[in-house]
Amino acid sequence: MDRKSATSTMASNDPNPLDPPGTPQPGDLIEIFRPAYQHWALYLGDGYIINLTPVDESQAAAISSVKSVFSRKAVVRMQLLKEVVGDDSYRVNNKYDDDRTPLPVDDIIQRSQDLIGQEVSYDLLGSNCEHFVTLLRYGEGVSEQATRAIGAISLVTAAASAFSVLGLINTRSRNRPF
């Protein structure tokens, strides 16, 4: 099986713990499965990744912190993949390759290295770790995880509005004098 087809077989959203995580190649997207969310990184080579971590935490604490999800700022760090993954699992997941063309690997690596140590804005829905690594790989930041979250928020908002309107109608019908 060639590398592209091996990667695409691992591109589903539901990880199979029996599947190997794949052998990352420079420029690959790495999906790390945290208990409550997925963290994303980009593989640089020689065991190193680039990823976003919270500004106000030590490097060691930032590796698996849920606090990173709620930060407004992040720091671009180069770290060892095995240290960032810790006890969690990961896989190579270049899931957008069917819809987008990756930039040349040398460009991806150079763009990544230019950002190491910089502080960047972070927003769970508009500028998260998946947006960051897809921007490096494709030149466009995308996040399926954020899109799903926005959809869920919209659904809850619509349902709350509907219940509010129904409650208002019900209250008005009870207050009629006739």
Give the catalytic positions in this structure.
Answer: 39, 129
Contact 40, 29 (CB under 8 A): yes
Distance CA 84, CA 63 (A): 5
Element (H, E) at 161: helix 144-174
Scanning 32-143, the segments in alpha helix (DSSP H) are 59-62, 81-85, 105-115, 129-138
Distance CA 23, CA 6 (A): 10
Distance CA 158, CA 122 (A): 26
SS3 state at 162: helix
> Phi, psi at residue 111, to the nearest 5°?
-60, -40
Between strands 89-92 and 119-121, the pairing is unpaired
